[in-house]
Structure 1
Amino acid sequence: MPEKKKQHYVPKFYLKFFSSDSDQKAIKVCLKESYKIIQNADIKSQAQEDYFYGKNLEREDWFGNIEDTTSLILKEVVKTKVLPKNKSDEYYWIWLFFLLQAYRTRANADEFNDMVDKSLKTVMKFEPKFKDFDFDTHFFAYDDAIEKTLDILLKSLPMMMDMQIKLLKNNTSQELITSDNPVSKYNQFLESRNFPYGHCGMASKGLQIFYPLAPDLILVMYDPKVYKVGNRKQFSKIQINETDVEFFNSLTCLYANKALYSTSNVTDFQFEKILERSKKYQNQKKLELKQFDPVENDDETESVIVQHHKTPFMLHPNLSFIKQTQHAKSYKLSGYFAEIRDERYRKKGKQV
């Protein structure tokens, strides 16, 4: 087999935190669509595709270099149950790895291409030359969608610097699971305000991002102006309860593309319950487009503006470890289509 043909979008070292054997070569798999259980699947074969990041290996090597550093840091976190010092170099390696994981998967690439396809077709319908075009038999997509999503993320990293990471500890009898798209997003703040548009954009006020790190650990990245997680100086070993674990496993299932992963301690029946519990929410998240009337340009052509957002999953959890701040409770919504953490970015957008 050619070198680096099989390219993982969920790293092998990470999946080993959920391995089902002492050699860390196998993992329990539950296929989301069929409910099929594979008790001891080969970790090397999970969450990967041939040349997923391209045959030139540039992006694959780039991820490899990042994983070489972060794997050592995260292995220590899993061992000690403690995060590196807040805002240290090691902390920011975790911060970077966390965000990259959210945008490097097959599920994310497919979601991006779905947005491209629907947006382009919406605009094309304004053009008379496409009046007989068969939209149902065509799908518009980028071959390098992952590069496009990563480019957006990397350019947007400065607006994520305000987000805080803490480590939650699961001491319950129920283990955390993970998936082939392990990072999930939520926004209890905008959910509580019944905000009708997107909740989980990178700049969204009240954004929460979750990353199961091991059966007993989960990372949370959150907006510190909106939420209090644990005590102000407590960054690790923040306890969660069984209701929290149930929510996290449901959200992990909803974000999963095809496969859920766990240790052998999670029973087949528990997987079935997770799948059944999440099923009623599965159709909540979809892409919605709002098209505006064409605007005439100076050269007598017309421009069409299409605004899009993803409707969020809304599970209405009552999480034990998190509370809204006084700032959040007194905050008045802006009235815009997007509620963002830092209004300076809205002003910059108007100046472009």
Structure 2
Amino acid sequence: MASNKNQHFVPRCYLKPFTIKGEGAAINVYNLDRRRLITNAPVKNQCSRDYFYGQDDQLEKAIQSLEQWYGSVISEIIEPGYKLQLEHQYTLKIFWLFQYLRTEGACRRSAEMFEDMIEPTGLDSDFSMSIKEAVQTAMRAFAENMEVVSDLKVCLVRNATSVPFLVSDDPAVLTNRWQLEDKRTRGGSLGLRDAGAILLLPLSPTIFCLGYDPDVYRVPSDSGWLTLRNATDVEALNEFQVLNCRANLFVGSLDYAEGLHRFVDEFIHHRPAARHIVNFAIFEGEETAEHKKYRVVSKSDFKDAHDGIMHAQTISQIPSQWPSFLLRRNKSCAYYNGTGIGYLRQMHAAMIETARPFFKVSPYK
């Protein structure tokens, strides 16, 4: 049985730089639903649930080990004069992936999507996925896909403005500027293997971790660091925390309290009304040796069908602006084979065996 009942899905070691005076005891919480700033809230009560990961002692120890690994790295990163190290880049990417998969918001979205797909089939409720089952699924996905973001480049962003980086209860964000903007890919779900992938993770009020596909973008960094002097760029990164979070934003200093209220009022309306959609289709009766023709229908029409398919699609958050330092690479490239697999990064295209070979394409023509 797990030794700790109160288990955090955003660890205290991660939240510590955002706490009041960086002491790790208390933090200021901005609740989006109530539009209210709660000051001096205990960190131990934030982003946690009783036995969130279940009662597997080995799993709990593995999680603690990863968190300690991250904690030791972040303690070095926040020291003055730190230079980005290759092994630390790997740690940050692994921690991002773990954090991306494991939060309550992420697991609740998985459970809700599963429920929306099960309900039209008429299957018994025993087939529904609980939050804890979604957590276990996320942990397996992490163990099986630890290298999925290893080919991305990491840049640390230093904040030299008066606007702090914000953090939320679902802080690790996946986005993809190219795919959200390009007519060939617009409207689809974003994947971890996709060309143009971008990883976002605030590390402290003054340091931000950016992971990106170096075959699609370029970032004018110096030895792995980029300094921001324009508050608009900071707000462009902070907007993703508003778009992605489940309920709460966190800030250490009350100096930004008034600015935070204004910021939330400006960007909260950009939050998507739904985080996923399930599409339904039924067989129309036309069939060849290679194809079957399906027609998109409503959920109610799908329930009575004898031959149907469902497709779950994640709704991607589209920001109102992108940071000015995220630039297009002139000789950009992605890999595509004309199928629904989509546009992949080179490493992942090379790992997939398909009847149709991948060929190199230019995202930015």
Q: What TM bracket, shorter-length normalisation? A: 0.7 to 0.9
User: Are residue 340 (structure 1) and residue 344 (structure 2) matched?
Assistant: yes
C-alpha deviation, 1:103, in angstroms: 0.9
User: Are residue 162 (structure 1) and residue 166 (structure 2) matched?
Assistant: no
Q: Distance in 2 between matches of 1:279 and 1:180?
A: 15
Q: How many residues align?
A: 333
Q: Distance in 1 between matches of 2:355 and 2:310?
A: 16
Give the structure 2 partner of residue 140 of structure 1.
128
Match of 2:243 among 245, 254, 269: 254
C-alpha deviation, 1:3, in angstroms: 4.2
C-alpha deviation, 1:192, in angstroms: 2.1
Segments of 4+ in structure 1 off by > 6 A? 329-333
List aligned pairs for 1:23-172, cutoff 5 A: 23-80=23-80, 82-86=82-86, 88=87, 90-122=88-120, 124=121, 130=122, 140-142=128-130, 143-172=132-161
Give the structure 1 partner of residue 211 of structure 2.
221
Stretches of structure 1 that go unaligned for 5 or more consecutive residues are 125-129, 297-301
Q: Distance in 1 between matches of 2:337 and 2:316?
A: 18
Amino acid at match of 1:108: A
Partners of 2:16 and 2:23 within 8 A in 1: no
Q: TM-score, normalised to structure 1's length?
A: 0.84
Partner secondary structure for residue 34 of structure 1? coil
User: Are residue 322 (structure 1) and residue 326 (structure 2) matched?
Assistant: yes
Match of 2:163 among 160, 174, 180: 174
Q: Distance in 2 between matches of 1:334 and 1:53?
A: 40
Match of 1:201 among 191, 209, 219: 191
Partner secondary structure for residue 147 of structure 2? helix
List aligned pairs for 1:254-333, cutoff 5 A: 254-283=243-272, 286-294=275-283, 304-328=308-332
Give the structure 1 partner of residue 362 of structure 2.
none
Kindly tell me: are residues 227 and 333 of structure 1, through their superposed partners in 2, closer, same or farther at Cα, counting changes over 3 Å?
farther
Partner secondary structure for residue 128 of structure 2? coil
Kindly tell me: are residues 333 and 228 of structure 1, through their superposed partners in 2, closer, same or farther at Cα, counting changes over 3 Å?
farther
Amino acid at match of 1:140: S
Q: Could you say which structure has the greater relative contact order, defined with CA pairs below 8 angstroms and 6 or more residues apart?
A: 1
Amino acid at match of 1:225: D
Amino acid at match of 1:185: L
C-alpha deviation, 1:72, in angstroms: 0.9
Kindly tell me: are residues 281 and 22 of structure 1, through their superposed partners in 2, closer, same or farther at Cα, counting changes over 3 Å?
closer
Kindly tell me: are residues 156 and 305 of structure 1, through their superposed partners in 2, closer, same or farther at Cα, counting changes over 3 Å?
farther
Partners of 2:198 and 2:211 within 8 A in 1: yes
C-alpha deviation, 1:38, in angstroms: 1.3
Q: Distance in 2 between matches of 1:15 and 1:161?
A: 24
Q: Percent of counterpart pairs with the same letter? A: 21
Q: Distance in 2 between matches of 1:276 and 1:119?
A: 34
Kindly tell me: are residues 48 and 81 of structure 1, through their superposed partners in 2, closer, same or farther at Cα, counting changes over 3 Å?
farther
Q: TM-score, normalised to structure 2's length?
A: 0.81
